[in-house]
Amino acid sequence: MADSETLTPLHDNNQEIEVSVVIPCLNEAQSVGICVKKARNALKRLGIHGEVVVADNGSTDGSAAIAEREGARVVHQPIRGYGSAYLAGIGAAQGKYIIMGDADDTYDFSSLEPFITPLRDGFDFVIGSRFQGNIHPGAMSWSHRYVGNPILSGILNLFLGRASPTPTAGCGVSHEKPLGG
């Protein structure tokens, strides 16, 4: 269980929320609490008025209760699917910036500043890259790491005219709510 300091609101009702950390979740009881705690602590350490939104996609293992206990606002999305969970979380987010990442603790929610600083500097979108950091054992299969992601990244970069190391990273930040959310 979180201590009382961790559960201190990261913003007051009169202040605009700058950052919403959105985390889709389906049966991630082993890690969702860790993710929420890391995100909340990072926001607090950076002095950012923010929130953590967990979009629960029908977990049966207590994930939603764990996320709430660690200080997240939980929204429930009964329509199954990773995209559905993300859309529900993004739709519920109140922040000017939205940081997205998975609930399996493969993304370091304690390191949010590299995403937030470029947005504050005027960039519209920031994406994380597993390939330019550490890929922990078991976090990505061989076929995804050496075949799927590089091929898909190359095709997308060709069509978009950009050099993005991994447009399928699963961790990114947007300046505005996508899809009219």
The 10s digit of each residue's pLDDT in 15-50 is 899 999 999 999 999 999 999 999 999 999 999 999
Environment class of 13 (CB within 10 Å of its CB; exposed 0-12, middle 13-18, buried 19+): exposed
| Residue 9 placed within a domain | no
Among the listed residues 93, 92, 99, the one whose alpha carbon sits nearest the alpha carbon of residue 42:
99
**Statement to judge: residues 72 and 115 lie in one domain:** yes
pLDDT-derived band at 112 (thresholds 50, 70, 90) equals very high
Angstrom distance (rounded) from CA 35 to CA 124: 25
| E-only strand ranges, the chain | 19-25, 50-56, 73-76, 97-100, 125-127, 172-174
Note whether 158 and 107 are same-domain residues.
Answer: no
**Is 107 found in the same domain as 76?**
yes
Residues in the chain: 181
CB 24 within 8 A of CB 85: yes
| 38 in a structural domain | yes
The range of the structural domain enclosing residue 159 comes to 138-165
How many folded domains does the chain comprise?
2
Rounded to whole angstroms, what are the CA distances from 124 to 50, 84, 108, 164?
19, 23, 21, 14
81 belongs to a structural domain:
yes
What is the model's pTM? Answer: 0.75
Same domain, 175 and 144: no
59 and 147 share one domain: no
DSSP SS3 for 76: strand
pLDDT at 94 over 80: yes
**Does 77 share its domain with 154?**
no
Q: What is the pLDDT of residues 118-149, one digit of tens each?
A: 889 988 877 766 555 666 566 656 665 566 66
Which amino acid type is present at position 25? C
The span from the CA of 140 to the CA of 133, in Å, is 13
Q: Judging by DSSP bridges, how do beta strands 73-76 and 125-127 pair with one another?
A: unpaired
Are 119 and 159 found together in one domain?
no
The encoded tokens of residue 13 equal 């009702």
